[in-house]
A and B are shown apart, each in its own frame.
Chain A
Amino acid sequence: MEKRPPIYGIMAEFHSPEALVAAAQRAHGAGYRRMDGYTPFPVEGLAEAVGFHKTRLPLLVLIGGLTGLIGGLGMQVYLSSVAYPLNVGGRPLVSIPYFIPVTFELTILLAALTAVFGMLALNGLPMPYHPVFNDPRFEMASRHRFFLCIEARDPQFDLEKTSRFLQQMSPDDVVAIEH
């Protein structure tokens, strides 16, 4: 088993989202791969700059929705024709127009549940503890500062070199993050 590095990583604090995106792009260009940005609101281009490109969430939501659709329609067709057939005004037992509202609602319900719980699961939330919370200034990440953290697990990571590299991009602050 790989020995855990002594620190989690190095965090640089920036004043603006543009500075953070530029820094992330430079870091990615320099070959760093294990890094992440931390911002108080979603910043366009940042996820791509730190190397994240495609999320599986839309596909999962589609699958969830289709499950609701087929499940809902199938349930109604089965229950109305086989399990408990009811003659209501001589209408056909499998009366699709009548089955549309419930089918529609179940499609939306399952798709929405997948979107929410899928997003949380893919993000690994809830995760009450994370090493970045050890930075006393990190609380600014939910207010008005923008952070870039390069993890020590990155193959190119070196405490001196990475710190100097981050300092070149004139951040407000550079700190080492304990585990």
Chain B
Amino acid sequence: MATTQSDNDRAVEELDNIPSRLDPRFSVIGPGHDYASVTDKISSLVLTEKVGKGWWFGFGLSFLLTMVLLYSITWLLIKGTGIWGNNVPVAWAFDIINFVWWIGIGHAGTLISAILLLLRQDWRTSINRFAEAMTLFAVACAGMYPALHTGRPWLDYWLFPYPNTMGMWPNFRSPLLWDVFAISTYATVSFLFWFIGLIPDLATLRDRAANKTARAVYGMLALGWRGSAIHWKRYSTAYMLLAGLATPLVISVHTIVGFDFAISLIPGWHATIFPPYFVAGAVYSGFAMVLTIGIPMRRIYGLEDFITMRHLNNMSKVMLAMGLIVGYGYAMEAFFAWYSGSFYEWFMMANRAFGLYWPAYWALILTNILIPQLLWFRRFRTNTVILWMISIVINIGMWLERFVIIATSLAADYMPSSWEMYYPTVWDWAMFLGTIGLFFALMFLFIRFLPVISIFEMRELIHEVSHHSGDEKH
């Protein structure tokens, strides 16, 4: 029942005039599936004996970059943060840019899992599992930066409030400390939410695995889940509660990350628009990464019946909406710069657009504002190749946004005598590429060993869809 790319293209042309709710390609699940077929399709990706050469190639390349990461971190621990391009005044550079970038990417997973659940959107079902996994791996990559950029990372435990011989306690009035609590909580809650969601699927894998080791491992991880109705009742309650908790959590985490800048005094940082602007930007880049991963994955593993045009269409629309909010944020920054009457604010804006970092600023406008306007047109939202390229462009744009905010504001703030340019070193790039490698290595492992789509929720979806259409699907 898989549809090919050329089928999609022809269908888009023919059906461009039909509203999507009547378009069969935009149904939430492909036709002809029942409880058994969705179970078998998704678990077959895990329980297969042979893994394709493509998987080995992808994992191998990612693992190679992970080794680059290991090398960069080792050199960092030996020599210190001087190996990076950070200087005074640009004391924060790639370390914080990449931290914010990765955390932002992670936010889409939680939004899809939690917020779309509370809003009862059935199109979340086939994408929430791998999006949540993406969140976990993104948070893992992000968390390394604040931990390692402290200069003496072996003393990071000082960040936590514990009774010590020095009689000292952390400064709770600092956003950097709020980050410690926010990121720790976010990592923990995301992991728990993801794992809880996996338990019934691990039970499915336990029951279907032929290999003894696989059965034993999945069996232990499934905690003995047997699908008891009473257990399901408590499980659904816990799941809904976690969704309700994760929703304000995800908004608060990137707000607190935005506070890292907004609580300061630097022109271009000290803006009250930062919390909502950062959260919208996070969702923007997160959905872009979900599409960057999801579009090849659905093609390679034949999941077009589960991740349909409806999902791609809806995700594109969310991205477009978030992109418009981010664009509004840029416009407001420019407006504040003029309306405030502050010479320093005005200079900050002029410096961003026409100063020595002007290529970064205009690349940002191109990648974050101009190119994503293509998403207004259904032709582009439903063309998987173009959508994939747009999603990569958006992620580059969101990285540039953090670069522009951090590097330009720090390089030229209040006193000209303190001005200095920032240039990244090879170790900055090595560590960044290394984290990208780690992220994809973890994604490949996830695809290999765990179900990329939530099996029990897909069965629930089949149940709901068959009830709506009136016929029984077994």
Contacts and interface: CB of A to CB of B under 8 A. Distances in A.
Contacts of A98: 172-173
Given A43-B229, A57-B241, A108 B178 contact: no
B53 to A, nearest CB: 30
A111 B252 contact: no
A42 B373 CA distance: 41
Given A58-B241, A102-B181, A122 B234 contact: yes
B161 interface: yes
Contacts of B457: 41
Contacts of A111: 241, 245
B203 A101 contact: no
B60 interface: no
Give the interface size bracket for B toward A. Answer: 35 or more
Interface in A107-126: 108-109, 111-113, 115-116, 118-120, 122-123, 125-126
Contacts of A125: 223-225, 231
A116 B196 contact: yes
Nearest to A77: B172
Interface in A124-179: 125-130, 132-133, 138-139, 141-144
Contacts of A118: 238
Interface string B462-474: 0100000000101
A65 B228 CA distance: 28
A123 B474 contact: no
Nearest to B248: A108
A78 to B, nearest CB: 9
B188 interface: yes
A104 B245 CA distance: 11
Nearest to B236: A42
Nearest to B163: A83
B200 interface: yes
A91 B208 CA distance: 62
B168 interface: yes
Contacts of A108: 185, 189, 245-246, 248-249, 252
A102 to B, nearest CB: 5
Nearest to A35: B229
B238 A57 contact: yes
A115 B238 contact: yes
Given A46-B229, A52-B233, A144-B35, A101 B252 contact: yes
Interface of A: 15-17, 24, 36-43, 46-47, 49-50, 52, 55, 57-58, 61, 65, 75-76, 79-80, 83-84, 86, 88, 91, 95, 98-99, 101-102, 104-106, 108-109, 111-113, 115-116, 118-120, 122-123, 125-130, 132-133, 138-139, 141-144
19 contacts: A16-B472, A17-B463, A37-B228, A39-B229, A40-B227, A41-B463, A42-B229, A50-B230, A55-B237, A83-B167, A105-B252, A108-B248, A112-B188, A120-B223, A123-B228, A125-B223, A125-B225, A130-B226, A133-B226
Given A38-B226, A42-B233, A80-B169, 5 more contacts: A16-B474, A24-B229, A39-B227, A57-B241, A102-B172
